[in-house]
Structure 1
Amino acid sequence: MSASMDHTVFKGFDEQHLSFSITRLNQMNGGITSGDSGGIMEVQVNLQPIENPTKDRGASAISRKKRKLCNSISIWKYKNPEYSKVKERSEQYKENLREIKENLHNLSPLELIEKLMSYVIYDHILKETVCYASSYRNKCEFALCIDELKTFIGILLFSGYHKVPSERDYWSSEEDLGVPIIQKVMSRNRFQLLKSIIHFCKNDEAKDNTHDRGFKIRSLLSLVKDSFQQFGVFEECISVDEMIVKYYGHNPLKQFMRGKPIRFGYKLWGLCGVSGYSYSFDLYCGKSSVDDGNDDLLLGTKVVLMVEAV
């Protein structure tokens, strides 16, 4: 057999092999023309390039991987929550709720905050801050009163909704930056000093709480939870879920949750009722290394048992 680009010549083939060869050629793309002469048969084949199917399959697979399910960008929209129907509340619950409303009805917003942030909480912060300043910062003459501590916390709350480019700009002399209401109540140096030494527990407790990364604010959280529970009337239907406190700074307790409206911050587990009131909450500090007897339980079961122990 001799072959060229446009012609294929078969020599010395018998009838059976020649029939088989022509059948195979008929399966190719192109036309076949045979002559009437015996012996040597010349077959003309119009050759056409055949694309590599393996290459096509690979290209299509790559294109499928790069293809996006949706080209549009997801947009978060506010939607009113839809609540399922709950059972009728008991008479005892209604009576307890009515009693609490009567006690808090005539109070101003400031007085309501002071009910939650009670004297016990301020006194605890005051003692721990003074102890840290005198023991670890060598400031033996440092003094602090509860009124000044309330002013400091008030500035922190104020800075949460009144933003300026820098913390020092609250005391700026520029008309478009300075905030007179803050400049009148506390100086800049005093505010920064309190911010650097404020404490909620003794540093000596770190040796006994190596398993708890949030031990420095654990005592403060316990006092705040007790303050919340004194005004809470437990409902029949409650829910356990996670809450997030927005924070973009550097802290090992900061969590990242992809796909959430608030992706960075401190995560807390909360126990709330249908009315939205929070009865209990706890700071999530990652996987616990202490043996609490619940190692065989799932995370959701541990959280429910932890927040319901009130």
Structure 2
Amino acid sequence: MADSDSEEEYSPSDEVQSSSDTENEAASVRNSTASVRLDSPQAAHTGADALLHRVRGGKRGRGGCSRGGRRGRGGCSRVDQNTANGEVGSGDAKNRRNGGRRGRSRGRKCTANTGGGRSGIHCPTVNDDDNDGWVCLRDEEEHHKWIRHFDEPVGYREDRNLTNSEPIGFLSLFLDAEFWSLITNETNRYAHQFLEREELKPNSRFHDWYDVTVPEMKAFMALHLCMGLVEKSEIEDYWDGFWPTYTPGFGKVMSRNRFEVFLSFIHFVNNDERVERGLPGHDRLFKVRPIINMIIPRFSAIYGPHKELSLDEMIIAFKGRSTLKLEVSSGYVLQWSMYTGQNTHDDENIGATHLIVRQLLAPYTGKGHEVYMDSYYTSPAISRELANNDTGMCGTVNCNRRGMPRVFMRHDKLLACAFHDTNRLTLLSTIHGNLCTKKRIRTKENVTGFREIEKPVCVDSYNTFMGGVDTADQRMKTYLFPHRSRKWYSRIFNAVVSISVVNAHIIYTRCNPGQQKTLKVFIQSIITSLLEGYSKKEGKKGGRPSMQQGEVPQRLTERHWLRNTDDRLDCIVCSDHTHPKGRRQAQFRCSQCGVGLCAVPCNEIYHTLKHYKEDDVWLH
């Protein structure tokens, strides 16, 4: 119990709890700085300064906490603020709880001067031992110059001169001959393993499998990229003959069955080398590990980033979390990591997010970079670790993170800050001071439609430099393969290929400033290059013999008779499984062709028109 008048040792429960009354009071002094608790509504404000601080002292009555004042049972503590027009306090009667009395304010008072000129913090000295090294900021401070000067080389750094090169040359920086050989060989290996292991049904499409070649694999990837440019609801729709949405290019490159078999068999590793779960060496990303180890290191080896970096997660249709580290100015992806669950490491005090940040930033620490990240990764521990390695950091933070102060102060190189406009934003930074900048924002409360606020520079910088991930994510998802796969590793593969294409486009733009191409045109050029020299009949073995050009199908030359059938077959002409209620069953079948047909008009259409699916006469 806290009913003695003697000064007590501070604990989190000794902080002033927020209420509707104190929220009303905070609104009346919104443009000032309050000495309140970090997680109370008053802690975040729109005023001249976003640096808050706690001052303990004074006495406390039963049933409540005080921050600089003695409080009786059920009373409200006082918050004092000095503004240009005088002192504003919360000592009025409306802030008094029923049945409570209010004591005098006997503790030390902390004020924030916001009258004219530059804003600043003025507060009494606090005991550093009680605050774990966190101290108040008194005067406005400039940017700290402790970070090493950034002088690293920036941009494309390969020996190959790609100026005036075609887009496929830039993509080959990541997807080179080794990549194509890997996925071709492993796909053939997996297909053989599957066919030897499984007993196929008589009508299985896998009976027509034949080994894939590198040119055919490139053709498959070309169609894969095409589907990101021309999005349809189902994969089968790309080969559908419905004339308003017909896309004949897909059928000219590869049959639908062949493409779907590709999707079933595409593989990147030998399954025989897999280590079972629970055994040493088990890897949850085993299915895509060769692709990750081959492509991801090339991102950072080929391109040198600018000073500002951003780190954020990317959503993939996969039960895991994907983390990206990018260059802010271009959205170029430098590092990529997939979180698949808890991993064991030597230091038990380090969490998974701390370990991810450490691993992704390892090649860039000690070089003077500044990293911007969101609240999922930001913590005092990782901020100090980066600061000790000459790497600046700025990011939003959750108030309940381990090591966060109860109020906003500075700890050595680390600054804690809160800002409130529409919503509250809490940040940690090792590269900013408490400088503020004036901003005009839209509002409905003013006849001009704008109001002017003083915004902390660290908040302004965060909003500016955290957009790199959004830029990259938007580019990747704009033309990403749109169809979901049942195999989780295929989704990760699609994401890695998309990142490679976007990175290649960024390097192309930097190397050819006078020959700018949009990402869409860039992808179209890559598709054209991947299809060069490929023939649909190349490497084809087995299956039905294809008709030579000008050869007439047998169904158009002989006499055909319809027979009743007990088995209801789908009409080959008018039945359409790609649309709701599009399936139509026929009572008859052609005795020569063996297909289901409606007597009228499908029988005549099928036996007289070469491209019966492309004509609209059968729609009835």
The answer to whether 1:93 aligns with 2:153 is yes
Q: 1:150 pairs with 200, 218, 222, which one?
A: 218
* Conserved 8 A contact 2:275-2:283: no
Q: Does 1:273 align with 2:333?
A: no
Partner of 2:319: 254
- Indicate if the aligned counterparts of 2:315 and 2:322 stay in contact, CA closer than 8 A: yes
1:99/1:306 Cα in 2 relative to 1: closer, same or farther (>3 Å)?
Answer: closer
Q: 1:203 aligns with which of 239, 249, 271?
A: 271
Q: Which secondary structure does the structure 2 equivalent of 1:282 belong to?
A: strand
Aligned amino acid, residue 271 of structure 1:
K
Q: Does 1:228 align with 2:299?
A: yes
| Letter paired with 2:296 | K
Specify whether residues 207 and 178 from structure 1 end up closer, same or farther in structure 2 by C-alpha distance, changes over 3 A only: same
Number of the residue aligned with 2:358: 305
Q: SS at the partner of 1:144? A: coil
Instruction: Output the amino acid matched with 1:106.
Output: N
Structure 1 stretches of 4+ with a deviation exceeding 4 A read 86-89, 98-102, 208-211
* 2:352 maps to amino acid: L
CA contact (8 A) 1:117 1:227 kept: no
Q: Distance in 1 between matches of 2:238 and 2:256?
A: 8
| CA shift for structure 1 position 101 | 10
**2:314 aligned counterpart, secondary structure:** strand
2:315 alignment partner, SS class: strand
Q: How many residues align?
A: 204
Distance 1:99 1:125, change over 3 A: closer
Partners of 1:155 and 1:123 in 2: CA distance: 18
Which of 149, 154, 172 is the equivalent residue of 1:114?
A: 172
SS in 1 for 2:236: helix
Q: Distance in 1 between matches of 2:150 and 2:176?
A: 30
Matching residue of 2:162: 104
Provide the C-alpha distance between the structure 1 equivalents of 2:183 and 2:323, rounded to a whole number of angstroms. Answer: 24
Residues 171 and 178 in structure 1, CA contact (< 8 A), matched pair in contact too: yes
Which residue in 1 is equivalent to 2:284?
213
Normalised to the residue count of structure 2, the TM-score between the two structures is: 0.30
Q: Which of the pair is proportionally richer in helix?
A: 1
Q: Distance in 2 between matches of 1:203 and 1:102?
A: 36
- Residue of structure 2 equivalent to 1:178: 246
Which ranges in structure 1 are unaligned for 5 or more consecutive residues?
A: 1-85, 248-252, 256-266
Gaps of 5+ in 2: 1-146, 197-205, 364-620
Residue 241 (str. 1) matches residue 312 (str. 2): yes
Aligned mates of 2:269, 2:229 — CA distance in 1 = 28
* Larger relative contact order, structure 1 or 2 (CA cutoff 8 Å, min sep 6): 2
Equivalent residue for 1:292, pick from 345, 350, 359: 345
Distance 1:167 1:99, change over 3 A: closer
Deviation at 1:99, TM superposition (A): 5.5
Write out per-residue CA displacement over residues 259-292 of structure 1, whole angstroms, 9 at most, x where no aligned residue.
xxxxxxxx3112222332211101222x22x423
How far apart are the structure 1 equivalents of 2:175 and 2:160?
A: 20
2:173 partner SS: helix
Query: Which amino acid in structure 1 is aligned with residue 355 of structure 2?
Result: K
Contact 1:130 1:144 in 2 (8 A): yes
Query: Could you tell me which residue of structure 1 aligns to residue 183 of structure 2?
Result: 125
Quick check: 2:187–2:266 contact (8 Å CA) kept in 1?
A: yes
Q: Root-mean-square deviation (CA), in Å? A: 3.0
Which residue number in structure 2 is paired with residue 187 of structure 1? 255
Distance in 2, matches of 1:219 and 1:206, equals: 12
Partner in structure 2 of residue 168 of structure 1: 236
**Distance in 1 between residues matched to 2:255 and 2:263, nearest whole Å:** 12
Q: 1:99 and 1:135, CA in 2 relative to 1: closer, same or farther beyond 3 A?
A: closer
Question: Compared with structure 1, are the counterparts of its residues 204 and 168 closer, same or farther at alpha carbon in structure 2 (3 Å cutoff)?
Answer: same
Aligned partner of 1:149: which letter? Answer: M
Alignment partners' CA distance in 2, 1:107 and 1:88: 34
The one-letter amino acid paired with 2:323 is W
CA contact (8 A) 1:294 1:302 kept: no
Q: Is the 8 A contact 1:229 1:279 kept in 2?
A: yes
Hey, what's the Cα distance between the residues in 2 that align with 1:87 and 1:273? 18
Q: Give the structure with higher Rg (CA).
A: 1
Given that 2:239 and 2:251 are in contact with CA atoms closer than 8 Å, whether structure 1 keeps it comes out as yes
- State the shift of 1:167 in Å: 0.9
Structure 1 contact 118–227 (Cα < 8 Å) conserved: no
- Deviations along 1:169-209, whole A, 9 cap, x unmatched? 11112212331221111111111111101111122333256
Equivalent-residue separation in structure 2 for 1:98 and 1:115 (angstroms): 11
